[in-house]
Amino acid sequence: MGAAGLKILVSDSLSKQGVEVLEKAGFTVVVKTKLSKEELLKEIKDADGLIVRSATKVTAELIAAAEKLKVVGRAGSGLDNVDTPAATRRGIVVMNTPGGNTVTTAEHALSMICSMARRIPQATASMKGGKWEKEKFMGVELYNKVLGIVGVGQIGGYLSKLAQGIGMSVVAFDPYLAQERAEKMGVTMVDLDELFRRADIISVHTPLTPETKGLINSQAIAKMKPGVLIVNCARGGIVNEADLVEALKTKRVAAAAFDVFDEEPVKPDHPLLALDNFTCTPHIGASTNEAQENVAIGIAEQIVDYFTKGVAKGAVNIPSVAPELLPRLQPYLTLAEKLGSLQTQLCQGGIERVTVEFSGEVATLSVATLTIAVLKGLLTPIMEHAVNYVNAPLVAKERGIEVKEVKSSDAGDFTSLIRVRVEAGKASHQVAGTLYHKKEARVVEIDQFKVEVVPEGHMLLIHNIDRPGVIGMVGKVLGDNSINIVRMQCALEKRGGNALLIIGSDTDFPSGVLDQIKSSSNVLSVKVVNLS
């Protein structure tokens, strides 16, 4: 492939340095921003590549109209505005630049902390109002204060370094960070309740998931130090905004600072905006000249490499392998990623070691790529920013996870088998999977149990004592709560011993339903897994 004659459409503002990289490589670069829907649909028809930031919505309709499109590049990490499944179905590569905003976003979080500690926005407003209220704006020192970081990914990790640099001590909660890695960072790992009790300032840096939505609410605030400061520069929804309003009014929380909100743009009558002890910015954590330059140059170079070398750096929907190998490899990539995702949801504690075993025919393929697929599945549910086939090994290394590959010609009863062992905390879990008819993924082992599970959708894994009535009880609870059972399987360790009941559904399982099932004396544990 070459760049001559290829059109790259840039539909959002992009630093000129990125455009220059593309033009120097020989592409025809068309920069047209703020297009209407109709104009964009017309302009995309003959585009070979599309570069966006957050404004352009790359919908299924837009993708369908793109007759020549081969790659979509996002200058930044978030891909909320790109319909990646629709692009994948069309064979269009989707790329992003997940590391370009790390320093800038961490610095913004620290700026928010400093602004709250010294009440800088309020003092500025007072002076601009013609006042000199020196006594009113007494601040607090950050030196020797305890910063609690929830989520120690790239941004949380860099913030910890910045905070330590000004004399703060850092405690952190991240169930997926290995203890050895935390020690090297000088961070004290604690559980969430202890973080709430100890921290003078709390900053969240997790992705928004069902588990983290409303993570900081009235119950959590009740456990915190009176006068705590709270920062959210990650994702709107992690902090319950209504609960925070009440806590700020009573000064239980002395101050809070947000760069992100449940709904954006924020409505002018939002109750948080009326509070003097609330500092806010309009989602500008990544908005610096340096960061925008980094992501612009980064995505431009990735586009050049893809068209001139066939290398898909930063791709989130395909690995960087030769195109002719993809048809055979793709089903195994799907299986490997599902096994990794399943493991993350089974294990507890910081992940220390991952061993991926390839047996049979699969051992003759590009197992390095398949190991990366396992890591992508393992890390995606727990990381604040996108994990892809390029950065998954680096993310694992940064988190202190040891990765090992093992190949064997003997797959036992199967033609091919991928087995993933994960050591986390003081426990070890293993899952294994294979392909039926060379394309249909199946999980065939979960720890000591032999199973045959289709890895998709919402799943309930119930570890129970093999006693009559357990299946009936579970079925009744789900039926009473109008939860449809799509698949069900029971695997025995030995008769009269332990059993594993696996239930698949097309809807999520509410916490109240789980509590009812857990209340049975024959139920040892209940886990919810989402492999959508």
* Residues designated as active site: 235, 264, 283
Taking the C-alpha atoms of residue 214 and residue 92, their distance in angstroms, rounded to an integer, is 35
Residue closest to 502 by CA, chosen among 522, 486, 480, 482 = 486
Those residues whose C-beta lies under 8 Å from the C-beta of residue 268, and which sit 6 or more positions away, are none
Task: Report the C-alpha gap between 461 and 428 in whole angstroms.
Answer: 17
Question: To which residue do tokens 């549910």 refer?
Answer: 381
C-alpha to C-alpha distance for 371 and 50, rounded to whole angstroms: 30
208-213 long-range contacts (CB < 8 A, ≥24 apart) are 208/234, 208/235, 208/236, 208/237, 208/238, 209/381, 210/508, 212/238, 213/237, 213/238
In angstroms, what CA-CA distances link 93 with 219, 316, 317, 319, 383?
Answer: 44, 8, 7, 10, 22
Could you tell me the two tokens for 113? 């902390």
For the chain, how long is the longest CA-to-CA vector? 82
Q: How far apart are CA 171 and CA 198, in angstroms?
A: 8
Count of helices and strands (H, E) across the chain: 17, 22
Q: Number of C-alpha atoms within 13 angstroms, CB side, residue 231?
A: 29
Alpha-carbon span 431 to 448, nearest angstrom: 9
221-225: list long-range contacts, CB under 8 Å, 24+ apart: 221/247, 221/252, 221/253, 223/193, 223/196, 223/197, 224/196, 224/197, 224/199, 224/252, 224/253, 225/197, 225/198, 225/199, 225/200
- The set of residues, in sequence order, having a beta carbon less than 8 Å from that of 234 and lying 6+ positions away, is 151, 155, 204, 205, 206, 207, 208, 260, 384
Burial of 487 from C-beta contacts in 10 A (0-12 / 13-18 / 19+) = middle
Residues 503 and 460 sit within 8 Å (Cβ to Cβ): yes
Find the DSSP H helices in 461-531. 470-480, 511-518
| The dihedral formed by the CA atoms of 159, 177, 317 and 99, expressed in degrees to the nearest 10 | 20
**CA–CA gap between residue 84 and residue 316 (Å, rounded):** 8
